[in-house]
Amino acid sequence: MEILKHDLLIIGSGIAGLRAALQAAYTAKIDIAILSKVQVMRSHSVSAEGGMSAVLYPDKNDSLELHAYDTVKGSDYLADQDAVELLVQMAPIEVRFLERIGVPWSRLPDGRMYQRPFGGMSVPRTTFAADKTGFFIMSTLYQNILRFDNIKQYHEYFVTKLIIENGEFKGVTALDLKTGELKLFLAKAAIIATGGAGRLYRFTTTAHSTTGEMLGFALRSGLALKDMEFVQWHPTALVPSGILVSEAARGEGGYLVN
């Protein structure tokens, strides 16, 4: 069995995985590997149409506090409020960071980023890039990652097991889907960024790759899973195809007629 060694192993190549890899590359000169069972631009993040909510222009109508309130209220007051506070503080920083590295956010005639109303928001604060926000973020992150020679990408590798000894992460075994060979990846740390498990359900808007097996591997390895009952659902989709009708349509006041 071929053995491959890296410092940091990131499992998943959606927005979360690519952003984590980019931040790690900015932070330290370490050997980073991205493992994904699909080619990077086939990750489900590419399908995201909506946008990112952030208080970019605080004024009398909007504030970080109001964004936090809307978020907590929208969660039926079940959200971790410390996490919500961090989210709303970091959101404008992250939106502007993505702008600097190349995401073409939609804009108003005066040059400001266009923000539209989204579900649960009391004021328009969702930044978007046409109706292909996920695609533009993914392609931008991917292009930036290619600048770093210390980020190695392994596309179409299916992780089969997490290796944890005495409570310490050691690596993973992964199947090379192109050759059928099983390979051993050793690393000092790992980030699991493989998304959800929408394909557990008969009807879903998620991609066929969203099968959640890494959640099972983590659980069997003794890692704790939290809040598993909270599954993101889009309430508007076409039947029986599962094609998403974007939240943007509802936010702009659209109606679906049977």
Query: Does residue 6 carry a catalytic annotation?
Result: no
- Choose the catalytic residue: 19, 44, 116, 234: 234
Query: Does residue 250 carry a catalytic annotation?
Result: yes
**Lookup: tokens for 72:** 């907590």
**Lookup: tokens for 203:** 């009807």
3-state secondary structure of 162: strand
Residues 97 and 84: their CA atoms lie apart, in Å, by 20
Residue 60: count of CB within 10 angstroms of its CB: 5
Q: What share of the chain is helix, strand, coil (3-state, %, to 5)?
A: 30, 20, 45
Residues 37 and 194: their CA atoms lie apart, in Å, by 10
Name the nearest CA neighbour of 148 among 18, 39, 37, 46. Answer: 18
Residues with catalytic annotation?
A: 234, 250
